[in-house]
Amino acid sequence: MANLSVADSIGVLVVMLASAKLLGFLAMRVGQPAVLGELLAGVFLGGSVLGWVDPTADFLHVFAELGVVLLLFEIGLETDLRKLLEVGGGATLVAVVGVVLPFLLGYLVCRALGLPVLVGVVAGASLTATSVGITARVLSDLGRLQDEEGRIILGAAILDDIIGLVILSVVDRITQGQAVTPWVVIQTTAVAFGFLLGTLLVGRFVIPVLFRFAGNLDLPGTTTMLAVLLALGLAWFAEWIGSALIIGAFAAGILLRGTPQVAEIERGAAQLGHFFVPLFFVFVGTQVDVRVLNPVDPDNRHTLVVGGLLIAAAVAGKFLAGLAPFWIRGRKSVIGVGMIPRGEVGLIFANKGLASKVLDAGLFGAVTMMVMVTTLMVPPLLKVLFPPREPHRTPPEPEGIEDLVTEA
Amino acid sequence: MANLSVADSIGVLVVMLASAKLLGFLAMRVGQPAVLGELLAGVFLGGSVLGWVDPTADFLHVFAELGVVLLLFEIGLETDLRKLLEVGGGATLVAVVGVVLPFLLGYLVCRALGLPVLVGVVAGASLTATSVGITARVLSDLGRLQDEEGRIILGAAILDDIIGLVILSVVDRITQGQAVTPWVVIQTTAVAFGFLLGTLLVGRFVIPVLFRFAGNLDLPGTTTMLAVLLALGLAWFAEWIGSALIIGAFAAGILLRGTPQVAEIERGAAQLGHFFVPLFFVFVGTQVDVRVLNPVDPDNRHTLVVGGLLIAAAVAGKFLAGLAPFWIRGRKSVIGVGMIPRGEVGLIFANKGLASKVLDAGLFGAVTMMVMVTTLMVPPLLKVLFPPREPHRTPPEPEGIEDLVTEA
């Protein structure tokens, strides 16, 4: 399947998108966020059920990554930096506790089961990061990105991603048998945070000039394409200097929020997003192997026990982290639940562990199981805890002659 | 370069899109169609100049092919089938003469130079097909798709593509040393034309029902995504049953032109098109090797002679084909020139010839040179022969209270 023809690659995209739209629509019909349907579409299409989509195909990685990049760009466009910084203290506490606690719990679970130190470190690390894509998408589906709880979750998830990068580079070195010096940790941390601060500072001066120029060009689609190029370019640059793609895309969104063309950019990004974003969630779904959940197979018993305990550690760790900012008035249970999904970030750790042979197939299955359950449980749970807000629909109240005549 | 990281793949896309937009803009500034700038951007980025983009990367094929599929879908949305059939006789004659004449001229050129029969067949075949993407894009840039000449060119280019499929399958068999029976030719021809007729007939009944249903769903982006899925799905199906991707996409566009949501679909497809379509033209450009044009290198002399004669055959063959429908009143010179660009279709033949060792590196270079010159010469030439029509801009003439109030 690695050598798909171009036509068959397009066929795979058609099947992924059609299933995503269909199951997304059905999920909404039964009162769930669309993203749950898209993830399940991926599970069905993946190797462990139908086997129609092979997530190892190179081109799919690119499409999926463009999807999450565009999603974080769209989220950035909706994010008011000042309001995000207002909840900075709470978000930071949630992020830090939400990394330390799941790591410790995961490590202790593995050690209690008699597994080696290295396994405990990798499994613990896989519990640390939140999938900001899934959380942000659910909040956006529910119309809750602007609420205090929503902003804390988003801020903490972004910080989590930056901390996750640092942990990933540390785990990389450990699994390759290299030494971890404090210097390496400090450097990685400085780059990851430095990129975000530097971009936001420089961008404040450069972006308005650039988009005033673009506004004068009067070519169809120029503003949107310039915005998308900025998002993809900053994403690439972020990864290149040692931060992450999605951090760059998020920064681009925050920067463009201030331009006069923001409404046009939002519409254009949404059109591209309708195409790329579902591909990301289906892609995440295809990487899930449901066979490890089959309790009839005796090989799975150990996996199920380890996986079950890891799930408990994963849920408890993030839930307790959500309670940490004691001074917040909002529903703190919502915050913790919003941090639970591990999604593709957890799978990256699991894959590193498998590739470096720190995790065997059974332990890899246990981590996969933890990722699957934490990812799929959150959309419905959050929906119950955090009822969707009606989208802004101004009621048709004609207030003057303009409305009457325009509507005629 | 085959194993680019995902981030670097996104970086390649950013570089391709940014160069396309920049050179496209500069081309327009000097009065040329934007597509010329996009092709040149590809030439610069390709292996023979900067070497920043490797056209053999799998994911680029998928992005480029999606670009030409979306382009033909957009062209289909603008195409009135009845008006296209009105010029059916002329278009058919131009297509048939435009296949036979270039093939004969190319074959005779090769035989006159003492080359084997098989080389003559492959080189002749590479002269037959028109790159409908480049021609349609130039006509669209010039606002001339609806003119009689424009419709004849488009119709002939579509027919050319179908005939090209038949020739390609014949050449495939010849270069693999297989026998070519009349049955194979008839079967391939029937499938290629049958797909188009069958789809248009069935679609006339199915599409209105489908889109009436979609219109009732009231989900953002559903109509556009359904339309894009239909275009990609029909493209895939067309290739699967033995026709071509772009024929399927074109048929989807023609079918959707009749739906009430056509304006919304056009806007959505255009947003996706702004992203994907330039990638196709840059991709075509990256496959051009300008080193074969260097006359200082003695190795190139033979290539330059063969290439020069092939260019003469390529231009004369299509130009004379344009004069064939003697009863047409329009500018027949425009028709022939519009058929000249060989683009990616000519390169497919050249690659087949090289892979099967029928063409050596020098002859491959000669065919590449023919493709490059015929592709790059047409946008400026067509611009001179066929001055651009001003885009529809209704002058601000307030005709009633509605306009006065709406604009206030």
pLDDT per residue as tens digits for the range A13-29 = 999 999 999 998 898 88
Out of B13, B226, B405, whose CB is closest to A405?
B405
Q: How far is CA A158 from CA A65, A124, A170, B270, in A?
A: 17, 19, 19, 32
Q: Which of A58, A195, A267 should we substitute to test contact with B (largest number of B Cβ atoms within 10 Å)?
A: A58
Query: Is the pLDDT at A401 greater than 70, yes or no?
Result: no
Q: How far is CA A147 from CA A153, A338, B163, B354, in A?
A: 10, 13, 60, 62
Identify the burial level of B272 via C-beta atoms within 10 angstroms of its C-beta, where 0-12 means exposed, 13-18 middle and 19 or more buried. Answer: buried
Contacts with A274 from chain B: Cβ below 8 Å: 220-221, 224-225, 268
Instruction: Say yes or no for a CB contact (<8 Å) between B11 and A58.
Output: no
Predicted confidence at residue B1, as pLDDT, reads: 43
Query: Is the pLDDT at A137 greater than 60, yes or no?
Result: yes
Specify whether the CB–CB gap between A293 and A43 falls below 8 A: no
By C-alpha distance, which of A324, A317, A319, A316 is closest to A94? Answer: A324
Max mean pLDDT range (A128-132, B142-146, B280-284): B280-284
Residues in chain A: 408
Instruction: Say yes or no for a CB contact (<8 Å) between B10 and A66.
Output: yes
Predicted confidence at residue B327, as pLDDT, reads: 79
Average pLDDT, integer, range A140-155: 84
Q: Which of B16, B56, B236 should we substitute to test contact with A (largest number of A Cβ atoms within 10 Å)?
A: B236
Look up residue A24 and give its two tokens. Answer: 């997304």
User: Which residues touch B335 (CB under 8 Å, ≥6 apart)?
Assistant: B94, B149, B152, B153, B156, B322, B323, B325, B328
Instruction: Say yes or no for a CB contact (<8 Å) between A220 and B401.
Output: no
3-state class (DSSP) for residue A392: coil
User: Which residues touch A394 (CB under 8 Å, ≥6 apart)?
Assistant: none
Instruction: Identify residue A368 by its one-letter amino acid code.
Output: T
| Cα separation, B150 vs A10, whole angstroms | 30
Query: Which of A96-110, A196-210, A214-228, A256-270 is least confident?
Result: A214-228
For the beta carbon of residue A115, count every other beta carbon within 10 angstroms: 16
DSSP summary character for residue A288: -
Predicted confidence at residue A241, as pLDDT, reads: 84
Q: Which of B58, B60, B226 should we substitute to test contact with A (largest number of A Cβ atoms within 10 Å)?
A: B58
Name the more confident of A256 and B406.
Answer: A256
> How near does any CA of chain A get to the CA of B333, in Å?
30
Predicted confidence at residue B218, as pLDDT, reads: 63
Instruction: Say yes or no for a CB contact (<8 Å) between A18 and B222.
Output: no
Look up residue B88 and give its two tokens. Answer: 């059916």
State the average pLDDT for chain A.
82
> How near does any CA of chain B get to the CA of A271, in Å?
6
Predicted confidence at residue A220, as pLDDT, reads: 65
Query: Is the pLDDT at A243 greater than 80, yes or no?
Result: no
Give the model confidence (pLDDT) of A250-261 as tens digits.
889 989 988 888
What are the DSSP calls for B22-89, one per residue? HHHHHHHHTT--HHHHHHHHHHHHSTTTT----TT-HHHHHHHHHHHHHHHHHHHHH--HHHHHHTHH
Q: Which of B4, B14, B17, B401 should we substitute to test contact with A (largest number of A Cβ atoms within 10 Å)?
A: B14
What is the largest distance, in Å, between two alpha-carbon atoms of chain A? Answer: 77
Query: Is the pLDDT at A330 greater than 80, yes or no?
Result: no
Identify the burial level of A223 via C-beta atoms within 10 angstroms of its C-beta, where 0-12 means exposed, 13-18 middle and 19 or more buried. Answer: buried
Query: Is the pLDDT at B402 greater than 60, yes or no?
Result: no
Look up residue B135 and give its two tokens. Answer: 């021609």
How many CA atoms within 13 Å lie on the side-chain side of B404? Answer: 4
For the beta carbon of residue A104, count every other beta carbon within 10 angstroms: 15
Instruction: Identify residue B89 by its one-letter amino acid code.
Output: G
Give the model confidence (pLDDT) of A172-217 as tens digits.
777 777 777 788 778 878 887 888 888 888 888 888 888 887 777 6
Average pLDDT, integer, range A39-50: 86
Look up residue A382 and give its two tokens. Answer: 């959050």
Which sign does the torsion angle of CA B341, B344, B347, B349 carry? negative
Average pLDDT, integer, range A301-321: 90
Residue ranges of E strands in B135-195: none
Average pLDDT, integer, range B63-91: 85
Look up residue A80 and give its two tokens. Answer: 């008011």
Instruction: Say yes or no for a CB contact (<8 Å) between A245 and B10.
Output: yes
Predicted confidence at residue A390, as pLDDT, reads: 59
Contacts with A6 from chain B: Cβ below 8 Å: 61-62, 65, 245
Q: Which of A9, A275, A406 should we substitute to test contact with B (largest number of B Cβ atoms within 10 Å)?
A: A275
Contacts with A69 from chain B: Cβ below 8 Å: 10
Look up residue B81 and give its two tokens. Answer: 């089938």
Helices (H) and strands (E) in chain A, counts: 17, 0
Residue of A nearest to B221 (CA): A274
Look up residue B272 and give its two tokens. Answer: 């996706």
Instruction: Say yes or no for a CB contact (<8 Å) between A402 and B406.
Output: yes
Contacts with B230 from chain A: Cβ below 8 Å: none
DSSP element (H, E) containing A123: helix A117-126
Residue of A nearest to B64 (CA): A6
Average pLDDT, integer, range A73-83: 83
Predicted confidence at residue A232, as pLDDT, reads: 95
> How near does any CA of chain B get to the CA of A144, in Å?
18
Average pLDDT, integer, range A352-378: 83
Average pLDDT, integer, range B272-298: 84
Instruction: Say yes or no for a CB contact (<8 Å) between A229 and B9.
Output: no
Its pTM stands at 0.82
Look up residue B44 and give its two tokens. Answer: 């610069």
pLDDT grade for B219, boundaries at 50, 70 and 90:
low
Q: How far is CA B349 from CA A7, A145, A189, B238, B247, in A?
A: 18, 53, 52, 20, 19
Specify whether the CB–CB gap between A182 and A212 falls below 8 A: no
Predicted confidence at residue A393, as pLDDT, reads: 43
Average pLDDT, integer, range A147-174: 81
Q: What is the CA radius of gyration of chain A?
A: 22
Instruction: Say yes or no for a CB contact (<8 Å) between B405 and A408.
Output: no
Give the model confidence (pLDDT) of B221-272 as tens digits.
778 888 999 999 999 998 888 777 888 898 899 899 888 888 889 988 988 9
Predicted confidence at residue A3, as pLDDT, reads: 67
By C-alpha distance, which of B255, B234, B110, B87 is closest to A18? Answer: B234
DSSP element (H, E) containing B145: none
For the beta carbon of residue A242, count every other beta carbon within 10 angstroms: 16
Predicted confidence at residue A351, as pLDDT, reads: 76
Query: Is the pLDDT at A275 greater than 90, yes or no?
Result: yes
Give the model confidence (pLDDT) of B278-288 as tens digits.
998 898 888 87
Average pLDDT, integer, range A378-401: 62
User: Which residues touch B12 (CB under 8 Å, ≥6 apart)?
Assistant: B4, B52, B53, B57, B60
Max mean pLDDT range (A150-159, B137-146, B215-224): A150-159
By C-alpha distance, which of B218, B277, B224 is closest to A271? Answer: B224
| Cα separation, A187 vs A179, whole angstroms | 15
Out of A225, A232, A274, whose CB is closest to B10?
A232
For the beta carbon of residue A400, count every other beta carbon within 10 angstroms: 8
Residue ranges of E strands in A267-328: none
Average pLDDT, integer, range B95-106: 92
DSSP element (H, E) containing B328: none
Predicted confidence at residue A313, as pLDDT, reads: 93
Identify the burial level of B11 via C-beta atoms within 10 angstroms of its C-beta, where 0-12 means exposed, 13-18 middle and 19 or more buried. Answer: buried
User: Which residues touch B106 (CB under 8 Å, ≥6 apart)?
Assistant: B120, B123, B124, B125, B126, B127, B310, B313, B314, B317
> How near does any CA of chain B get to the CA of A175, in Å?
21
Predicted confidence at residue A383, as pLDDT, reads: 81
| Cα separation, A123 vs A367, whole angstroms | 7
Residue of A nearest to B20 (CA): A225
Query: Is the pLDDT at B3 greater than 80, yes or no?
Result: no
Instruction: Say yes or no for a CB contact (<8 Å) between B402 and A402.
Output: no
Predicted confidence at residue B285, as pLDDT, reads: 83
| Cα separation, A340 vs A338, whole angstroms | 6
Contacts with A59 from chain B: Cβ below 8 Å: 58-59, 62
pLDDT grade for A223, boundaries at 50, 70 and 90:
confident
| Cα separation, A166 vs A185, whole angstroms | 7
Query: Which of A31-35, A333-337, B310-314 is least confident?
Result: A31-35
Instruction: Identify residue B361 by its one-letter amino acid code.
Output: A
Query: Is the pLDDT at B121 greater than 60, yes or no?
Result: yes
Contacts with A9 from chain B: Cβ below 8 Å: 58, 61-62
